[in-house]
Structure 1
Amino acid sequence: MQLVVARIGRAHGIKGEVTVEVRTDEPELRLGPGAVLATEPASVGPLAIESGRVHSGRLLLRFEGVRDRNAAEALRNTLLIAEVDPDELPEDPDEYYDHQLMDLDVVLADGTAVGRITEISHLPSQDLFIVERPDGSEVMIPFVEEIVTEIDLEEQRAVITPPPGLIDDGQAEIASPGTADGASADGASADGGGD
């Protein structure tokens, strides 16, 4: 299974390094030296990671064959994609890969159906479930412990305890199509961060 693990940002310096927006909870595993990643667009890759370092809180990567700022800048906005065994699970039992959460039924604690997870949006402050309601509308549910109280993979459901106004009809935070980042990633966690 292929999962997006990062997006290349701007070039850093003049020797071919790039900043990356990490979209995995396991950057040391997925984005370490020697890793070979597929890309979107596919014509750019595959890219082999030569080295990586953290600078001012950002991960910087250098790829084999990318030696100057112009070559690095040409990679901007490229998605990095890792091949992951679909049976592989995160080490932390409170973390989940996006593919585990997709299509889960979302229900209230009393069993009332809310909808189905159709997308997971990874924001800097927290992850969001994009949930399609039975009427076709969408609602955004923050993936934090206070709201998402249980993930039951065997029953294929996520139990939520939403604050007033989050999903109430007429007061819900409705996401219009295309507002959330549609790229899949591996690494959503209920602690509010995907990286």
Structure 2
Amino acid sequence: MLVTVGRIGRAHGIKGEVGIDVRTDEPDRRFADGATVVTDAKVSRTLTIASSRWHSGKLLVKFAEVPDRTAAEQLRNLFVQCEVAEDERPEDPEEFYDRDLIGLAVRTTEGAEVGEVTDVVHLPSQDLLEIRRTAGNLVLVPMVEELVPEIDIDKRYVVVADRPGLLDPEGAEVVQTEPGD
């Protein structure tokens, strides 16, 4: 099964290195010398990692098939994926593959069934669970322990600590302020 591990950014230098927007908790493993990744383009391509290094907090990767900056720029914004066994799980019990979360039932801390996880949105600051509520609308919930205290992959559910306006945007609290505040 293919798992997204990064997105190719802009070229770095003239020898074909590219910056990678990392989407894995195991970048040193997924982008190790000799490893292969597949692009998500209409015509997918297999790329071999010739080398990788960290520079100013950014992962730089040189693909064997990319000889220069011009070729590197053509890969910009493509997602890269790697093959992961279907039963493989991350080593850290607090880490999950997107594929393991999508389809999980969502319930509140009080036990009420409220929907299903339909996607995981990756942002620079944090990941968000996209949840289709039983009522039909989509909501985004930050994947932080305070709001998502429990995920049970084996039992196929995730618990969300509901707050006013989180799962039901109509229930958001309205704060009245005085003019000039």
- Give the alignment's TM-score, normalised by structure 1: 0.84
Contact between 1:4 and 1:80, CA under 8 Å: does it hold in 2? yes
Paired residue secondary structure (1:170):
helix
Paired residue secondary structure (1:96):
coil
Match of 1:93 in 2: 93
- Alpha-carbon distance between aligned partners in 2 of 1:25 and 1:42, rounded to the nearest angstrom: 26
5 Å-filtered alignment, 1:108-187, equals 108-171=108-171
Q: Which runs of 5+ in 2 are unaligned?
A: 173-181
- Alpha-carbon distance between aligned partners in 2 of 1:140 and 1:15, rounded to the nearest angstrom: 40
Q: How much does 1:163 deviate?
A: 2.6
Question: Displaced runs of 4+ in structure 1, greater than 3 A?
Answer: none
Match of 1:31 in 2: 31
Q: 1:74 to 1:44 in 2, by over 3 A?
A: farther
Contact between 1:2 and 1:82, CA under 8 Å: does it hold in 2? yes
Q: 1:106 to 1:154 in 2, by over 3 A?
A: same
Match of 2:177 in 1: none
- Alpha-carbon distance between aligned partners in 2 of 1:128 and 1:139, rounded to the nearest angstrom: 10
Once the two structures are superposed, residues 53-79 of structure 1 have per-residue CA deviations (whole angstroms, 9 ceiling, x without a partner) of: 111111000000322111110111111
Contact between 1:7 and 1:78, CA under 8 Å: does it hold in 2? yes
Match of 2:179 in 1: none
- Alpha-carbon distance between aligned partners in 2 of 1:155 and 1:65, rounded to the nearest angstrom: 43
Once the two structures are superposed, residues 123-147 of structure 1 have per-residue CA deviations (whole angstroms, 9 ceiling, x without a partner) of: 1111100000112210001110011
- Alpha-carbon distance between aligned partners in 2 of 1:37 and 1:154, rounded to the nearest angstrom: 28
Paired residue secondary structure (1:103):
coil
Contact between 2:109 and 2:162, CA under 8 Å: does it hold in 1? no
Amino acid corresponding to residue 110 of structure 1 in structure 2: E
Q: How much does 1:171 deviate?
A: 4.1
- Alpha-carbon distance between aligned partners in 2 of 1:157 and 1:65, rounded to the nearest angstrom: 42
Paired residue secondary structure (2:170):
coil
RMSD over aligned CA atoms reads 1.3
Amino acid corresponding to residue 170 of structure 2 in structure 1: G
Paired residue secondary structure (1:43):
coil
Amino acid corresponding to residue 47 of structure 1 in structure 2: L
Q: 1:137 to 1:16 in 2, by over 3 A?
A: same
- Alpha-carbon distance between aligned partners in 1 of 2:64 and 2:42, rounded to the nearest angstrom: 17
Amino acid corresponding to residue 5 of structure 1 in structure 2: V
Q: 1:171 to 1:31 in 2, by over 3 A?
A: farther
Indicate whether 1:71 and 2:71 are aligned. Answer: yes
- Give the alignment's TM-score, normalised by structure 2: 0.90
Contact between 1:44 and 1:75, CA under 8 Å: does it hold in 2? no
Contact between 1:8 and 1:80, CA under 8 Å: does it hold in 2? yes
